[in-house]
């Protein structure tokens, strides 16, 4: 594993343990070049997933990109990062076990919306404001009103 500090190619594993959700292995490493310590995560990948974008463009599924977009929606909310990590793992697992090698970005967006709706209504609205691309303020207002009504029930 390449050192993120000095770029040296070799590092030594000092400690390995499963993550809280058991979906990954957390490894503490030490660079043999500069002696810096860093952490890596090893995850099971059942299959390669290709994402079909809106312009018929294909790109490999990027778990970190999914995590970043959800992190933006949940920023400054009192949501445990472990819950966000579990949501991302759940979405990835659903995609990998679907039996399809390709999935649309729309499907991923819907899975994120579903997960955020259960996690936090503000994060759900934030993500929807970008994902749904509301054309007018009225559209956004109607959506937010529907979310508010649903949370009261």
Domain that holds residue 60: 45-152
| pLDDT over 90 at 54, yes or no | no
Pair (49, 115) in one structural domain: yes
Task: Return the ∠ at Cα 117 (arms to 125 and 70), rounded to 5°.
Answer: 70
pLDDT, residue 55, reads 82
- The pLDDT mean for the chain works out to 87
Indicate whether 31 and 90 sit together in one domain: no
- As a whole number of angstroms, the distance between CA 137 and CA 118 comes to 24
pLDDT at position 138 is: 78
- 120 and 66, same structural domain? yes
**Using H for helix, E for strand and C for coil, what is the string for 84-113?**
HHHHHHHHHHHHHHCCCCEEEHHHHHHHHH
Q: 39: how many CB neighbours lie within 10 A of its CB? A: 10
| Model pTM score | 0.67
How crowded is the C-beta side of 31, counted as CA atoms within 13 Å? 14
pLDDT tens digits, one per residue of 7-50: 999 999 999 999 877 778 999 999 999 999 999 988 776 678 99
What local confidence, expressed as pLDDT, does residue 148 receive? 72
**Residue owning tokens 């992190």:** 71
41 token code pair: 């995560």
Are 96 and 142 members of one domain? Answer: yes
If pLDDT is split at 50, 70 and 90, which confidence band does 110 have?
A: very high
In percent, the amount of the chain with pLDDT more than 90 equals: 54
Q: What angle do CA 89, 78, 118 make, to 5 degrees?
A: 50
- Structural contact between residues 58 and 68, judged by C-beta atoms closer than 8 angstroms: no
Task: Please report which residue ranges of 1-80 form alpha helices under DSSP H.
Answer: 63-74
| More confident of the two residues 83 and 20 | 83
Same domain, 87 and 141: yes
């Amino acid at each position: 594993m390449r050192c993120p500090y000095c770029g040296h190619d070799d590092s030594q594993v000092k400690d390995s343990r499963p993550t809280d959700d058991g979906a990954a292995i957390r490894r503490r490493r030490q660079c043999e070049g500069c002696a810096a310590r860093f952490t890596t995560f090893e995850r099971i990948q059942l299959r390669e997933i290709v994402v079909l974008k809106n312009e018929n463009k294909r790109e490999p599924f990027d778990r970190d990109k999914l995590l970043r977009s959800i992190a933006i929606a949940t920023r400054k909310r009192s949501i445990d990062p472990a819950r966000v990590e579990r949501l991302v793992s759940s979405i990835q697992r659903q995609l990998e076990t679907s039996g399809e090698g390709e999935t649309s970005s729309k499907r991923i967006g819907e899975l994120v919306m579903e997960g955020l709706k259960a996690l936090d209504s503000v994060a759900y609205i934030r993500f929807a404001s970008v994902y749904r691309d509301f054309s007018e303020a009225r559209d956004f207002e109607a959506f937010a009103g529907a979310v508010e009504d649903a949370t009261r029930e």
